[in-house]
Amino acid sequence: MEDTAPEGWRRPRVSMQEHMAIDVSPGPIRPIHLISDYFPHFYPFAEPVRCTPDLLPATATANCSIPQLQLDQEPEADSDDSTALGTLEFTLLFDADNSALHCTAHRAKGLKPPATGSVDTYVKANLLPGASKASQLRTRTVRGTREPVWEETLTYHGFTRQDAGRKTLRLCVCEDPRLRRRRRAPPLGELRVPLRKLVPNRARSFDICLEKRRLTKRPKSLDTARGMSLYEEEEVEAEKAGEERGRILLSLCYTSQRGGLLVGVLRCAHLAPMDANGYSDPFVRLFLHPNSGKKSKYKTSVRRKTLNPEFNEEFFYAGPREELAKAVLLVSVWDYDLGTADDFIGGVQLSSQASGERLHHWRECLGRSDHRLELWHPLDGVAPQLGD
């Protein structure tokens, strides 16, 4: 095509800056305008400011743009996954004196159930890592609201400083399918709190956004199973078999009036599940060896379908303090099975040959008369080897 421009006329030259619509005129440097300056936009945390950059001086334009640049907003992707699911208000208290962790669930706000209408919800708590049902607690169900109020305290007994340094509390807001005859649905949202940040004997309140349930892919060896989902809810594997058998709270007291040792079996916590339903029917056996008294073996009553049983039973072994100092107290926890042999869950041995807290508990009891001392002891996975 021939150029028809008149003679002596030069085609204007467009620089790259002008092509990109950047103002390069002399004077103060003006900020690049955002497209949001020209279109209405809603900010939930700030009053909307209408800017007309072409009509305002440079200083006014800069002042108008600064609040928008400093506005700290969650990314939309995070908002879809977390804040859109609602929030949960709760309080944590680590009672170091009584070895207990108290979790008070207050209320939830802005829940987003998959179905429209009202929802029946409860809060489920787990300590991780560890067996899921061994540390599972739940609140009551609040019916017919998306902003439920529970005001209920869940207590983990036998919670030590070592647990606070290595465990995490998971809280899930779940829909109760039993009240409305629905199929079991995944949690409406969950959150996790590392417990190492808790200060002993000081309550701390939280108001945290709920997140989606974390899923992990099953091992390849399970992928070929027919009808099995490729993904499962993330469960942290148990740490060590010896550490995950559970723990028992014992009280020892040498009574001078009766002339013998008073042993109290108070409760157990986080026992290993032995039955197919994920629970156990635990009871405790006591055996003092050797014992010159009439009876050396006792056992508690059976607690049905629980991993955190409470017994509060006491047993007496008669004998002078010198003989008891040479004896060995074997405490074992069993799962009761009707018609078959009972399953061993875990045990603990107290004697002058023990070590750590077990030795301290035994010596402190026999060294001070009429002094009751309660201590938690982790259960070993090895059954007692002494004869009957």
Are the beta carbons of 170 and 195 closer than 8 angstroms? no
Query: Does residue 60 sit in helix, strand or coil?
Result: helix
The CA-atom distances, in angstroms, between 110 and each of 49, 107, 209, 373 are 28, 10, 10, 47
The CA-atom distances, in angstroms, between 208 and each of 83, 134, 193, 222, 227 are 9, 25, 10, 35, 36
Query: What domains does the chain contain, in order, with CATH numbers?
Result: 86-210 (2.60.40.150), 246-379 (2.60.40.150)
Phi (first) and psi of residue 380, to 5 degrees: -90, 155
Task: Write the DSSP assignment of 240-280 as a string of letters.
Answer: -TTTSS-EEEEEEEEETTTTEEEEEEEEEESPPP-STTS--
Task: Write the DSSP assignment of 135-166 as a string of letters.
Answer: G-EE-PPBPS-SS-EEEEEEEEET--HHHHHH
Are the beta carbons of 293 and 317 closer than 8 angstroms? yes
Phi (first) and psi of residue 166, to 5 degrees: -130, 0
Q: What is the pLDDT along the chain (388 residues), one digit of tens a residue?
A: 455 656 666 666 666 656 555 555 555 555 555 555 555 544 444 444 444 444 444 444 444 443 333 333 333 333 444 457 899 999 999 999 999 999 999 999 988 877 666 688 999 999 988 766 778 899 999 998 889 999 999 999 999 898 999 999 999 999 887 755 555 678 899 999 999 989 999 999 999 999 987 655 444 444 434 343 444 444 444 444 334 788 999 999 999 999 999 999 999 998 988 888 888 999 999 999 887 656 889 999 999 999 999 999 999 999 898 989 999 999 999 999 988 899 999 999 999 999 999 999 999 999 888 999 999 999 988 776 654 4
Rounded CA-CA distance 49/51 in Å is: 6
CA–centroid distance for 24 within its chain: 57
Burial state string for 358-383 with b = 16 or more CB within 10 A and e = fewer than 16: beebbeebbeeeeeeeebbbbbbeee
pTM: 0.63
Task: Write the DSSP assignment of 66-119 as a string of letters.
Answer: HHHHH-----HHHHHHTGGG-EEEEEEEEETTTTEEEEEEEEEES---SSSS--
